[in-house]
A and B are shown apart, each in its own frame.
Chain A
């Protein structure tokens, strides 16, 4: 349950660090979920589905960057527009291609890969080492992202651009290029996260199936203080909450309305933000477009 949150959150750490708020995460995930499902359905190949989800995410990332970085438009407004657009496009296309059904057929799911030896450990083994490739990828991404962000020149550039774009510009860093790449990366990983939901988990696409998970991933980024490792643990927490509410649904769903359980991850995300995230977690230039002078 944590994997899509982790993927989307890690990507978003880069976008937020570069000074671009990406609430379009939700729309990017939804578009990835649909594109991944559609291509996997048409070609019968899950991997092609994943690739196109990444591509569609990148495309929306470029739209977001074009509007907010090149044109200097408002980042929140652009995010809202992309979310609405994505909801409409995926809904319309899925209705036109598959008809009005809440959930569609099934495509071959991602194969489960067991780690030799480790997957035979009782109880923990299957849970940790009997997973799809995307789960391992999302975990491997955490140290990789931390390394890139804090130990490489490019990572330093991203952070510089988010904190003080003018100074970064003077130091010869291209503010526009850094932000474009960071937001596109965020889109790619969000697209992949969406595809994980549709072709990885349920093998189906439902209208608006992300249901706010993009916003939860964004909450994980803030709760994790814009740090890949922090964002990972926050994703684990929120993903765990989601898994717990699903479990409670199957246990008590007949006696208690399921909406009470569905609410739980959002309440938890809200409470952690309200309780633990204070001021000054955002980079100084967050939300402000940069204009060359």
Chain B
């Protein structure tokens, strides 16, 4: 474990992120995807054209792109926050499900609250549920040394099936034909913020979190502790930092942000809770954080890009016959290019794994 605190300011980290691999990783990955498209007998130019049109062609489609980017931004912030402490919380998908569950429950049951207040309580409930779901692997890591990578991954499946079970059975709405809950009260719905689009206020929540996470990480003593633990737990301990406490707090915030991602998706877009409601937003959030070099601003940009891939995907499928799942291919290749690029430039920048708590 290398002890290095020289990248201590966010501005340096940002410039490193901007100057780093992602800039060429994006066109590089797209080129490789184009080759794959040619290989399976489709026209890449038509496919990318349809994709761009479907994602940015009109204010309405731009709104869809941003809506799809919003949970990715929040889940991505959650991922990068824990990565910065050297903790691999990759349970965003599960924490997102729990956040959606809590937000729905509060959105349905606490109906006598003032409108704006109801939204905030529902969002806070989503954050708390995500944090609670992440707390279990965090405490297991610090107390018993249980590897958080595998525990958070397993909990993703538990959460997914749990939410599906609840939407199917105990929480199933009385008047719905489908297996879903009753809709949340109108007072808990996130309002649309741009005329003639479905862009909802969850994006503003995500933007506020981008700024908040940046400030916490690079402008507060706690953020310094988080990054110190991420650089070297041993050095941090010698410097008098309570490493276990920092790890648990970091993972709580990380899980909370992923929970918030689930909450804004329910309150802004879906309004009811269904089983399997997340199309992999948690995993793509991790991808956004990785492409964004674990920096909030980079993650924001990467999330909008990945949101565009998802939003334009169906038009790409209609116009060029390229399946929407090609978005995942692009994501995977892009991450491989990013790590390869970073590793080639200098082998130390990607946040390191720490197995010592």
Contact = CB atoms under 8 A, between A and B. Distances in A.
A257 B335 contact: no
A259 B162 contact: yes
Interface string A267-283: 10110011001111010
Majority DSSP secondary structure for residues of A touching B:
helix
Contact of B355 (A72, A257, A274, A286): A286
A92 B339 CA distance: 24
A21 B343 contact: no
B347 A72 contact: yes
A23 interface: yes
A36 B256 CA distance: 40
Interface string B173-208: 000000000000000000000000000000000000
A257 B350 CA distance: 43
B43 interface: no
A280 B144 CA distance: 10
Given A73-B339, A96-B323, A259-B168, A273 B150 contact: yes
B57 interface: no
Nearest to B351: A74
A119 B347 CA distance: 56
Given A67-B340, A80-B335, A88-B327, A263 B165 contact: yes
A23 B149 contact: yes
A270 B155 contact: yes
A133 interface: no
Interface string A79-92: 01111111111011
A74 B88 CA distance: 11
A256 B169 CA distance: 8
A12 B146 CA distance: 18
B144 A274 contact: yes
Interface stretch (B12-20, B211-219, B228-236, B282-290): B282-290
Contacts of A21: 149, 353
B91 to A, nearest CB: 11
A211 B323 CA distance: 20
Interface string B117-145: 00000000000000000001000100011
A96 B323 CA distance: 7
A63 B32 CA distance: 15
Interface string B319-353: 00111011111111101100110111001001111
A157 interface: no
A92 B88 CA distance: 29
Contact of A76 (B90, B157, B168, B325): B90
Contact of B336 (A63, A262, A289): A63
Contact of B343 (A73, A100, A256, A270): A73
Contact of A263 (B136, B161, B355): B161
Most buried by A among B1, B325, B329: B325
Nearest to B42: A96
B335 A77 contact: yes
Interface stretch (A136-144, A166-174, A198-206, A214-222): A214-222
A74 B325 contact: no
A47 interface: no
A212 interface: yes
A106 interface: no
B332 A88 contact: yes
- Size bin of chain A's contact surface: 35 or more
A266 B157 contact: yes
A78 interface: yes
A269 B153 CA distance: 11
B3 interface: no
Nearest to A221: B150
Contacts of A289: 347
A257 B90 contact: no
Given A80-B287, A85-B336, A257-B168, A282 B355 contact: yes
Contacts of B169: 256-257
A274 B336 contact: no
Given A72-B343, A219-B150, A278 B158 contact: no
B61 interface: no
B146 A274 contact: yes
Contact of A259 (B275, B331, B333, B342): B275
B158 A77 contact: no
Given A73-B339, A282-B147, A282-B355, A87 B165 contact: no
Given A86-B332, A278-B145, A92 B326 contact: yes
B151 interface: yes
A251 B326 CA distance: 39
Contacts of B40: 92-93, 96
Contact of B339 (A81, A207, A286): A81
Contacts of B315: none
A287 interface: yes
A244 interface: no
Contacts of B286: 80
B164 interface: yes
A75 B144 contact: no
Interface of A: 21, 23, 63, 67, 71-78, 80-89, 91-93, 95-96, 100, 207, 211-212, 215-216, 218-219, 222, 256-257, 259-260, 262-263, 266-267, 269-270, 273-274, 277-280, 282, 286-289, 291
Given A63-B336, A76-B149, A87-B332, 18 more contacts: A71-B344, A73-B340, A77-B335, A81-B287, A84-B331, A85-B336, A88-B329, A88-B330, A256-B169, A257-B169, A262-B161, A267-B158, A270-B154, A277-B146, A277-B147, A278-B146, A279-B145, A288-B353
